[in-house]
Structure 1
Amino acid sequence: MTDTDVVPAVPADPVKTPPDQRRRAWTVTGLLVVFMMVNFADKSVLGLAADPVREDLGLSASAFGLANSAFFLLFSICGAAVGLLADRVRPKWLLLTMAVLWSLSQAPLVLGGGLAVLVASRVLLGAAEGPAFPVAQQTTLSWFPNHRRNLPGALIVLGITLGVLVAAPVLTWVIHQHGWRTAVAVVAIAGAVWALLWIPFGAEGPYAGARNSGTPAPVPAYGPDPGADRSAHGSGAGPTTDGRGTDQTAEGAETVTGTGGAARGTPYRRILATRTWIGATAAYFGTYWVIAFCLVWLPSYLHDGLGYSSATSAQLLMLVWGLSGVVVLGQAGLTGWLLRRGTSSRRARGGVGGILMLVGAVACLALPAAPAGVATVVLLVAGFGCAGAMGSVAATTVAELAPADRRGGALGIMNAVVTTAGLIAPTLVGHLVDTQGTAGYRQALLITGVLLTLGGTAAVTLIDPARDARLLSARRADPLAPDHDTPLRPA
């Protein structure tokens, strides 16, 4: 078998999914899209209220950036810890706990307090939101086989965009009419409402990472949670057979070895050492840097750095996030089409995602030297809008690579690494603005362009889940097998 050999993206004889199960899958996916919308409305509220918050609390740009970075103090640690926990505890209850904690953590800030309360509130909120993306992705992907995961995975990422698109005009109006603390109350209430809806409708799907042992069982429209029986599916039960000693497979795409072929029980350290995991994580780091920049400093850059009014800044902010949503959906459609035509994930996921990041990198690097006006707007929208697709690409790529019983941990650790960008970016940009004025924004854009260049290059050159899954499987079968990319020969 050579480096370019791939497992067929679409099974030859797919199992028909019952209509009730399809409806349930898309209901859960829709709820998780809203979950991510609330998640990013929580994150964006302070960026939208940057000037009122700084004026009310008497904060410099550096202090404001530090307060926003505090959000990520426990974000990465909790993201990794809960990601690992998601391989053992039903994601339904993890997601519910997160949403409840989001609302509770913001309550003190609604009631009053200064910088200390602001920092404490953001630290607690970050700890509760850290695991949101990997657990939401894991839960959504548990409802779909590998070759059907691009759209639902992209929709979860689209929830990020929709959250900001809805939050920007609504919260801006609330901030101007009723104050920034009222805007915080609005997002806290939204989290509580989502939690009430998730209790009856949320569930883990038949392709759950810990299960993956055979043809997915039909799921009643709103009956018992298919992930509820951990004794049978989460405790290492072996694969089912068809009476002839052969394993049944979930639409031919997922067996006890995991989607890409890596054996169950593979140590996390081997998954994290693969070029695919490293490439996806490096690329996603660049994307998350852009997200952190947009959430905290893009409104101020548009207003203070480029001189746009608050209303125009809000419109441009929506344009940036709107293009990001279009790119995410376009990438999902193109990637799915390529996979169905037999293209390897190396090109369909790594290639498409990496090229989009490189386009964003060129735009960000050109933006500081661009003349004010239309050119600036085009480069700004392209630079930040094209970088967002890598979140979906990274999640579906790692889900394809990782064995079933390691998927939550692999996603959670990746998320923990990439979200350190959120810890660094707000403080660094705040320091640049304090020391250099509006020129600090230009320096921040150049740094962003360099990170996107590195991330896009890593995606194009390193991502190849089919290759690395084969190497993981070979390593599991033969502990002395080399970790490097050596063509595997039949025995």
Structure 2
Amino acid sequence: MTAADTPARALAQDPPEDRRTAGRAWTVTGLLVVFMMVNFADKSVLGLAADEIRADMGLSATDFGLANSAFFLLFSVAAVVVGLLADRVRPRWLLLGMAVLWSVAQVPAAVGGGLAVLIGSRVLLGAAEGPAFPVAQKAALAWFPDHRRNLPGALVTLGVTLGVITAAPGLTWVIHQHGWRAALWVVAAVGAVWAALWAVFGADGRHRTDDEQHTAPASDAPAERAGYRRILGTRTWIGTTVAYFTTYWCVALTLVWLPSYLHTGLGHSPEAAGRLIVLPWAIGAVALLGQAWFTGRLMRRGVSGRRARGWVGGILLLVGAIACLALPLVDGTAARTALLVIGFGLGGSFATVAVTTVAELAPAARRGGALGWMNATVTTAGLVAPAVVGHLVDSQGVTGYQNAALLTGALLVVGALAAFTMIDPARDAPRLRG
């Protein structure tokens, strides 16, 4: 990312009308960053309150893992349905509807009730939040041409990290001082405030219409009509989705089980665990911004998406895998904590690579659906991972946490190999025009 890529420099160089458009683009992008912050603050509550909820409801680790997996029961389905709608319905209204619904979804469990109410509330919340990431990315990227999408795409993804970093200490305090149900009221109120701001300031970008439809050469028309089956059958889409699946596995476990691992598995106090959980997200944030800068620089120099996106993303996953797999080789709480936060931080940093790669691959008229199908596929990791780790913890005790990290490392190796060997949008995109 050079100075010319920063919002302030871009505004200074454009004519007045372009500056107004650019200003609106970055305003919308900023709101979408906050949108993802609220989205992941919602998701983090149960992980931060895991011990309190298990004690309050008398849940085993397996029961708690299944309750968290319930969040993803309709998550993937909703991601596909709304992702397809995003190609036909203005993203502005889809985002507003999602924000309102997920605030409402917090209320039943916040009011009271047992495990059934908690599961029902999480299923509804998952359905409301499932499409959030692909629709937010589509809304943000619509304001920018392809060569300028790395930064806004990374910023929206960074909202995931910022949501947990900013929310974890405050929500941990609320949970310990006022109970875990009070934390649900807090995130519901924040979501309602965002919905009000978006209703006033939200807008849809026109870049797809102006740059990709009106100015696209006639030879691109068949690509616009390419069916989803052709897009989803490309090696690039498949490789990107496999790699992103392993990242989402990391994200799901970081949200649900990592606070308990830090507390129960490594012996940190609940307060310390609440602070330490920020570290993998912070490492992920640095990796996201560094990847966006480096990838953008490579692509401006003419480097292909295969290397600039696939190889760079694959390296991040591989380093994360090495950190996770090295856990049994070190002694001491500090060393294991360091490897854990590095492994999950870097392992969870492939999202921006995935989104910008599919945006480069898919024609504009199919982009929302292509992103939605990818998101639906990868988020099945959230359905499986919490339940698997809950079973490991119940059957193996503290050792189950470490084995969960080793399993995560093995999956990240698979994701890295997929990124290195399959991602090549410059090869596959032209085939969609055939």
TM bracket, shorter-chain basis = over 0.9
**2 CA distance for matches of 1:70 and 1:323?**
28
SS of structure 2 residue aligned to 1:18 = helix
Name stretches of at least 5 consecutive residues in structure 1 with no aligned partner.
1-13, 215-238, 241-247, 250-254, 475-491
Cα contact 1:262–1:470 (8 A) shared by 2: no
**2 CA distance for matches of 1:212 and 1:468?**
24
Structure 1 stretches of at least 4 aligned residues deviating more than 2 Å after TM superposition = 14-17, 211-214, 255-258
Question: Which residue in the other structure is 1:37 paired with?
Answer: 37
**1 CA distance for matches of 2:104 and 2:329?**
45
Q: Deviations over 1:133-190 (max 9, x none)?
A: 0000000000000000001000111000000001110000000111100001000111
Q: Deviations over 1:377-429 (max 9, x none)?
A: 22112101112321000000000100110000000000000000000000000
Cα contact 1:256–1:404 (8 A) shared by 2: no
SS of structure 1 residue aligned to 2:92 = helix
Question: Which residue in the other structure is 2:400 paired with?
Answer: 440
Question: Which residue in the other structure is 2:326 paired with?
Answer: 366
SS of structure 1 residue aligned to 2:280 = helix
**2 CA distance for matches of 1:309 and 1:368?**
22
Question: Which residue in the other structure is 1:306 paired with?
Answer: 266
Q: Are 2:391 and 1:431 aligned?
A: yes
Q: Higher helix share goes to which structure?
A: 2
Q: Deviations over 1:189-236 (max 9, x none)?
A: 11100000001111111223xx2556xxxxxxxxxxxxxxxxxxxxxx
**2 CA distance for matches of 1:88 and 1:367?**
47
Map 1:67-466 onto structure 2 (within 5 A): 67-208=67-208, 211-212=209-210, 240=214, 248=215, 263-466=223-426
Question: Which residue in the other structure is 1:471 paired with?
Answer: 431
Cα contact 1:75–1:127 (8 A) shared by 2: yes
Cα contact 2:223–2:432 (8 A) shared by 1: yes
* RMSD over aligned Cα atoms: 1.6
Structure of larger gyration radius: 1
Question: Which residue in the other structure is 1:63 paired with?
Answer: 63
Cα contact 1:32–1:140 (8 A) shared by 2: yes
Cα contact 2:266–2:333 (8 A) shared by 1: no
Cα contact 2:168–2:274 (8 A) shared by 1: yes
Cα contact 1:284–1:455 (8 A) shared by 2: yes
Question: Which residue in the other structure is 2:52 paired with?
Answer: 52
Q: Deviations over 1:422-468 (max 9, x none)?
A: 00000000010001100111111111011100001101111011110
Percentage identity across paired residues of the two chains = 65
SS of structure 2 residue aligned to 1:88 = coil
Question: Which residue in the other structure is 2:8 paired with?
Answer: none
Report how far residue 256 of structure 1 moved.
Answer: 6.8
Q: Deviations over 1:8-31 (max 9, x none)?
A: xxxxxx997810011100000000
Q: Deviations over 1:27-78 (max 9, x none)?
A: 0000000000000001000000011111111111100100000000000010
**2 CA distance for matches of 1:404 and 1:277?**
15
Q: Residue 408 of structure 1 aligns to which amino acid in structure 2? A: G
Q: Residue 119 of structure 1 aligns to which amino acid in structure 2? A: I
**1 CA distance for matches of 2:178 and 2:426?**
53
TM-score (norm 1): 0.84
Aligned pairs, number: 421
**2 CA distance for matches of 1:456 and 1:423?**
22
SS of structure 1 residue aligned to 2:391 = helix
**1 CA distance for matches of 2:219 and 2:417?**
30
Q: Residue 60 of structure 1 aligns to which amino acid in structure 2? A: S
